[in-house]
Amino acid sequence: QVQLVESGGGSVQAGGSLSLSCAVSGDTYYIAWFRQAPGKEREGVAVINTGSTNTYYADSVKGRFTISQDPAKTMVYLQMSSLRPEDTAMYYCAARTTAYFGSWFDCLRQVNFKSWGQGTQVSVSS
């Protein structure tokens, strides 16, 4: 069973940077970051194939966020830069343990990920 623990959230001013970490135990196929703002649905932000290290980003964060993993595959990171107030949300790390044969866009949906961390809060002030 996969266990995930996020860390690294905090408060930052618009234009600033934050880095989130997700400690991963267990074998995975994909690790993704999702976020949920108050009153909004949870949305996928970025995903990495932990074998190939191929990545995919939601349009809202493309060019500003970077997902990566350490060589031991025990940590996945989300480096966030040029942060905006609309990036304010609870950020969750999630894992999928099997291959996905659809599009990256379709993969990055919470229904496709069965293991979840507890979340870490990111707040961006204007």
Query: Which pLDDT score, from 0 to 100, does residue 76 have?
Result: 98
State percent of the chain over pLDDT 70: 100
Per-residue burial over 61-92, b if 16 or more Cβ lie within 10 Å, else e, is beeebbbebeeeeeebbbebeebeeebbbbbb
Per-residue confidence (pLDDT) for residue 84, from 0 to 100: 98
Mean pLDDT throughout 9-18?
97
Mean pLDDT across 95-120: 94
Strand 10-13 to strand 120-125: parallel, antiparallel, or no bridges (unpaired)?
parallel
Q: What is the pLDDT of residue 94?
A: 98
Residues 114-126: what's their mean pLDDT? 97
Give the per-residue pLDDT at 96. 96
